[in-house]
Structure 1
């Protein structure tokens, strides 16, 4: 599969069979600008505008925004209820974690997760090979809590998201830097423009992978 980051929590995964999956596409409001994209599947973790612009994605798109189990375009998908804060959603509402079975690998996008996972949530998520993990704090997990969630799920590859970048300008100061997470996690970090990974080489590519949003 190929994985490309478009900023904030938006990624596109292209499976070996060409199926495109886009997670949490945003409205142009943060300094990032979403390019024209097409896909077969779009998931949105919650209804904040920096995560819910499914209408921007072209093609014959299946939009999934609920919890439950789904099977679309050869991809098994599971949506699991979590929360955007540490108070069971009382401050910022609910958040859906999505897990995907793609090319024999288990991929998990945590959306705007705002708390450590419960044993039940960890059981529902199960094995994780590739984890998309918010690390910037304020609206999501901060660096320390993100490192704890990483320990809870034990993924082979961690891709940080939802942190401060140059594209965000001054408003981005509310988010922490990805370097803070890397330092606390104490795991080797590599930088890639696009991550290409499959079942055969995932062990070799294990660690934190920081993707370029440009």
Structure 2
């Protein structure tokens, strides 16, 4: 499985069979230019949107005849099994920022979880639904999502083997959120890559939980 980070919460997952999944594509220049990552104009077979905000739901530039998922449910598309669970964008049951979807993708004998803009700790029901997690794509910047401390607790709760942080402050994201340094502070098993894409295979998962920091592609 290949994982490419465009920037913010946007990723492209490519399975061993070549199925392309784009998650949470952003609108370039959204929020009066506060989000300045480049345009996502690649093809996809599946596009998934965790919630209806401009930094997560911009599909106009994505090519291909893709299946679109923006509702909770269970799906199987071209051999890829996907579960989408309802959660909230805040700690007030959605009263501040609305709902959010957590995506659980099963492909290539791996379980990948994209937490969208999760704004609260997972309760027992969501932990049970999410289950075994090999790869966790998790917001860590705070303010609009869980913060670094809460993200660390969620990583532990899901026992993810590889955690890839997202939705944090960079030179191309001027949101009032924290940089990734807040999340990785004090963590021993952190690997920085100088590229936006990584390939992860079941037999290559780390023995100890690892944080993997990617460079944004756009």
List per-residue Cα deviations over 1:20-73 (Å, max 9, x = no partner): 011000111211112321110010000000000123211111010000100012
Which segments of structure 1 move beyond 6 Å, counting only runs of 4 or more? none
The residue aligned with 2:14 is 14
Pick the aligned partner of 2:144 from 139, 142, 146. 139
Q: 1:6 is paired with a residue of what secondary structure?
A: strand
Q: Report the alpha carbon displacement of residue 204 of structure 1 after superposing the two structures with TM.
A: 5.6
- Whether the 8 Å CA contact 2:111–2:132 is kept in 1: the answer is yes
Q: 1:144 is paired with a residue of what secondary structure?
A: helix
Say if 1:187 and 1:112 are closer, same or farther in 2 by CA, change over 3 A: farther
List per-residue Cα deviations over 1:50-106 (Å, max 9, x = no partner): 000123211111010000100012100000010000011010000000000010000
The residue aligned with 1:61 is 66
Q: 1:56 is paired with a residue of what secondary structure?
A: coil
The residue aligned with 2:100 is 95
Q: 1:147 is paired with a residue of what secondary structure?
A: helix
Say if 1:5 and 1:205 are closer, same or farther in 2 by CA, change over 3 A: farther
Q: Residues of 2 paired with 1:189 and 1:167: CA distance?
A: 23
- Whether the 8 Å CA contact 1:106–1:127 is kept in 2: the answer is yes
Q: Report the alpha carbon displacement of residue 189 of structure 1 after superposing the two structures with TM.
A: 1.2
Q: Report the alpha carbon displacement of residue 205 of structure 1 after superposing the two structures with TM.
A: 8.4
Q: Report the alpha carbon displacement of residue 136 of structure 1 after superposing the two structures with TM.
A: 0.3
Please report the TM-score for the alignment, with normalisation by the length of structure 2. Answer: 0.93
Q: Residues of 2 paired with 1:124 and 1:56: CA distance?
A: 32
The residue aligned with 1:74 is 79
Q: Residues of 2 paired with 1:61 and 1:160: CA distance?
A: 26
- Whether the 8 Å CA contact 2:159–2:209 is kept in 1: the answer is no
Question: What residue ranges of structure 2 are gaps of 5+ in the alignment?
Answer: 30-34
Say if 1:187 and 1:41 are closer, same or farther in 2 by CA, change over 3 A: farther
* Count of residues in Structure 1 that have an aligned counterpart in Structure 2: 210
Aligned-CA RMSD value: 1.3
Q: Residues of 1 paired with 2:121 and 2:104: CA distance?
A: 17
Q: Residues of 2 paired with 1:187 and 1:197: CA distance?
A: 20
Listed as ranges, the matches of 1:135-214 within 5 Å are: 135-168=140-173, 171-172=174-175, 174-183=176-185, 186-192=187-193, 193=195, 194-203=197-206, 206-214=209-217
- Whether the 8 Å CA contact 2:141–2:168 is kept in 1: the answer is yes
Question: What residue ranges of structure 1 are gaps of 5+ in the alignment?
Answer: none
- Whether the 8 Å CA contact 2:40–2:61 is kept in 1: the answer is no
